[in-house]
Each structure stands twice: as C-alpha cells, then as structure tokens.
Amino acid sequence: MSGHCAATNGPAIDLQERGYPSPGDPQGVARGGPLTVSGGVVEQHPVAGARLVTVAHGTRTAAGNDVARELTGAAASRLRIAGVTSYVELSEPLLTDVLASSPTPTVVLPLLLSTGFHLRQDLPAAVAGAGGPVVLGRSLGPHRLVAAAQVARLAEAGVEPGSARLVLVAAGSSDPVATRDLARAADLLGRAWGSPVEVATLTALGRRPAEVVRPGDVVSPYLLAPGHFAERSRRESLAAGAAVVADVLGPHPLLVDLICRRARALMSGARLAAATRAIA
C-alpha cells in the first residue's frame, strides 16, 4: 500500500466533534484555543533567519524518504522559512552533515513516532557537532494529532468505528521509554477511535502480529512511511487474519500541522534565541 492514499468515500468521522483540531488550525485558534507552552501564550515571532531541519529514520525505499521530504516542504512553506530534510541512516543527507555544514540557527524536528535510542543518543550527538545554534525538538508521537491522522487513514480504508477490533502495529524498540510511548499512542488512538486498541510490534519488545491480530481485525500501522516495516506490518497482519490494514501515516496534513506547531514553539520561545546569543 502506498503512503499517499487519497481520500475515499469511507465513513465520515467528525474529529472536530471529538476535540481534535482541524488542518490549518492546529492550535484551535478559531475555537478559542491559542497555542500555549508551559502555561504561557507563545508569540509568533520566529528567530530571524532560522531554518527548519527535519530528521527521519531513513529507508532504502524511495517512497519512504519522499514522505519526509513532502512533510518538510509543506511545513517550511507554511512557516515561510528554509526547510531541509535529513536522515539518521540509510539515506542522505545525514543529520550530522546537515548540522555541521551550516552556522544558521536551526530547529531540528525528529520525524519519529516515539522516544528511543535515536532520539536519546544519535540526535543529541549530531547536535553537539553542529556549526551553529540548534534546538532539538521531541518526537512527533505520541500525540493526538498523530492519532487523528491514523483515524483518517482508517476512514479512507472504509472502516467504521466499532465495526471491528482495532490493532496498532508498530516497528518496536528495545528501549523501555519507547515502549511507554507506544502504550500512550495506543491510548490516544483508542480515544480518537472510540474503542480500546490492542498493540503489536514487529521487533524487540512486545507481542508480534501473529500473537495479537485475530481474524476480522482492523490494523492501523503506527508507521510514518512505506518501507520494510510497512510491508512487514501488512504481510504479517493479513497472514494473521486481518480484514483491513490501513495505510501508513504518510504526508498527512495533520502531521504538517503538528510540525508547524512544534517549530513555531521552538523558534518563538527563548531556547533558540538563547542558543543564538551564546554562539554569537
């Protein structure tokens, strides 16, 4: 299945009625909910000349790397700043090289769905070798906008809430922090979907799809892009009897909203400005 699935005539799910922001209004400003950080309203005044650098895991599948580039391009265009896509491994440019080669004030946003080894080890190491001021954001997930995007993918697959048992399938990690994030992601998806969600992983900690998925189940891949894990998720879930395997998240507009929200918060707050002053 492609990560670029177009909307179908599946069941309409009013995410706004469930408290989820609409695309283009990620802070819910139209409904009286301005973005806040640490209890204070964030002023929309980015650091002059700052750029957005996203970092995805990287894959040998071209379509998978394209998802990261599409998300970055859409977010940078909306923010009206320069945007660069980078990768942890398997594809270029690598984050280490992107940061080391420029003195430009930079916000780095990981296009990762949980906290794990890459976020806690690899990315800080790359930031330490940067040629200019850098602020590193947290992983995209777990977050309710990610859950809302999963619900949208399920709707595109023609699945109605409550019509079948739902299983979230993730790549998996040996990091206990990532495992806790995955449990939180399942909880958020369950709240958005309106029914409990089971969890399966393809590697490391957790149970495999063969152990969790039952005949007739619906599967929501907790994966950003097409590639090795997306193919395994689909193959193993169908082998276990899944009736439907929804598309990966892909370059969904709600993820663009989330990236913009995170970037604005980091650029508008004191962290990047302070880092810039420290380097100057």
Mean pLDDT of the chain: 83
pLDDT at 275 over 80: no
Q: What is the structure's pLDDT at 163? A: 87
pLDDT at 277 over 90: no
Q: Lowest-confidence range among 9-18, 30-39, 188-197?
A: 30-39
Whole-angstrom Cα distance, residue 244 to residue 238?
8
Per residue in 146-165, pLDDT tens? Answer: 999 999 999 999 999 888 99
Whole-angstrom Cα distance, residue 5 to residue 148?
16
Domain-wise residue ranges, the chain: 48-140+252-279, 144-245
Q: What is the structure's pLDDT at 122? A: 87
- Among candidates 189, 142, 141, 143, which has minimal Cα distance to 166? 189
The highest-level CATH class for domain 48-140+252-279 is alpha beta
More confident residue, 92 or 44: 92
Which CATH architecture describes the domain 144-245? 3-Layer(aba) Sandwich (3.40)
pLDDT at 93 over 80: yes
Which residue stretches of the chain are H helix? 62-79, 95-100, 117, 123-128, 144-156, 176-193, 209-212, 228-239, 253-268, 270-279
Whole-angstrom Cα distance, residue 179 to residue 114?
8
Whole-angstrom Cα distance, residue 276 to residue 177?
31
Both tokens assigned to 194: 């309106």
Per residue in 204-245, pLDDT tens? Answer: 999 999 999 999 999 999 999 999 999 999 999 999 999 999
The model carries a pTM of 0.81
Whole-angstrom Cα distance, residue 1 to residue 223?
12
Q: What is the structure's pLDDT at 83? A: 97
- The residues, any chain, with a CB within 8 Å of residue 38's CB and separated by 6 or more, are none
pLDDT at 115 over 70: yes
Q: Do domains 48-140+252-279 and 144-245 have the same CATH topology?
A: yes
Q: What is the structure's pLDDT at 49? A: 82
pLDDT at 28 over 80: no
